[in-house]
Amino acid sequence: MKHPALILLLLFFLASCAPKQVSTVPRSHLPPENIPQIGTGSPGAAPPAQKPVRLAALETLIKKAKTQLDRNRPEAAFTTLERALSVDGQDPEIWHLMARVRFLQGRYSQALSLAKKSNTLAWNRPELKEKNSQLIDEARKGLERDE
């Protein structure tokens, strides 16, 4: 090893080529890659690193629901969100917004369940999970107040 500094530099350079860890997301519940899974027979799919690309229709409907919510029309927002569900029923943001609508209407029990449902679908969305957790806490407090 004639030039240790050079080698170190080389190592650092090569290390930067290694795939990045998404450190904010716990991964132990994810299936091992490249091993066939029970049920599907195919290897576990790693969750997408970024938010999947949404259909424009979905963006339009979600935007509309948010506007209706801002204009204090919660029931109209909920109807729009149900329309969005028929486009993609597994999008966690739709369920999160539904939870927010119910929370604003004081329907805490529904808000709680809807936020939990959103969490089960928020694969790789720590910011959304955080919002859901906050909503769940607030909804629980709301329920206690109501009792």
Scan residues 52-91 and list those touching other proteins (CB under 8 A).
55-57, 59-61, 75-76, 78-79, 82-83, 85-87, 89-90
Distance CA 78, CA 45 (A): 32
Q: Enter the tokens of residue 46.
A: 């790693």
Other beta carbons within 10 Å of 118: 26
Least CB distance to other proteins at residue 141 (A): 18
Instruction: Report how far apart the first and last C-alpha atoms of the chain are (Å, whole number).
Output: 73
In sequence order, what are the residues at sequence separation of 6 or more whose Cβ sits closer than 8 angstroms to the Cβ of residue 51?
125
6 near other proteins (CB under 8 A)? no
Q: Which is nearer to other proteins, 2 or 32 (CB)?
A: 32
Q: Enter the tokens of residue 93.
A: 């943001």
41 near other proteins (CB under 8 A)? yes
Total residues in contact with other proteins, by rule CB under 8 A: 50
Least CB distance to other proteins at residue 89 (A): 2
98 near other proteins (CB under 8 A)? yes
Sequence letter at residue 115: A
106 near other proteins (CB under 8 A)? no
Identify the burial level of 91 via C-beta atoms within 10 angstroms of its C-beta, where 0-12 means exposed, 13-18 middle and 19 or more buried.
buried
Distance CA 74, CA 66 (A): 9
The residue from 3, 5, 13, 38 that contacts other proteins (CB under 8 A) is: 38
Name the residues that contact other proteins, by CB under 8 A.
Answer: 14-15, 18-19, 21, 26, 28-42, 44-45, 55-57, 59-61, 75-76, 78-79, 82-83, 85-87, 89-90, 98, 109-110, 113-114, 116-117, 120-121, 123
